[in-house]
Amino acid sequence: MVPSGDTSALEWFKSSYSSNDGPECVEVAAAHSAVHVRDSKDLAQPPLGFTPAAWADFLPYASGS
């Protein structure tokens, strides 16, 4: 993981698998050197930051490919 730093200016996107009324809400924001992931139901917690390479390695597992 990489430090998240200040992520307030990032544009966050909610997962299409997240629902507004369920506990599983994940948001992702891409920056130049990191991909940030946060729990939209608990914004007090810091987002997790991953290198673009680590995120690319993770995506096939998340999508079930």
Per-residue confidence in pLDDT tens, the chain, 65 aa:
776 677 888 999 987 777 667 667 889 999 888 999 999 888 899 999 999 999 999 999 988 87
Q: Where are the chain's structural domains?
A: 12-63
User: What span, in angstroms and rounded, lies between the C-alpha atoms of 59 and 39?
Assistant: 17
Give the closest residue to 7 by CA, choosing from 16, 17, 33: 33
Largest interatomic CA distance in the chain:
32
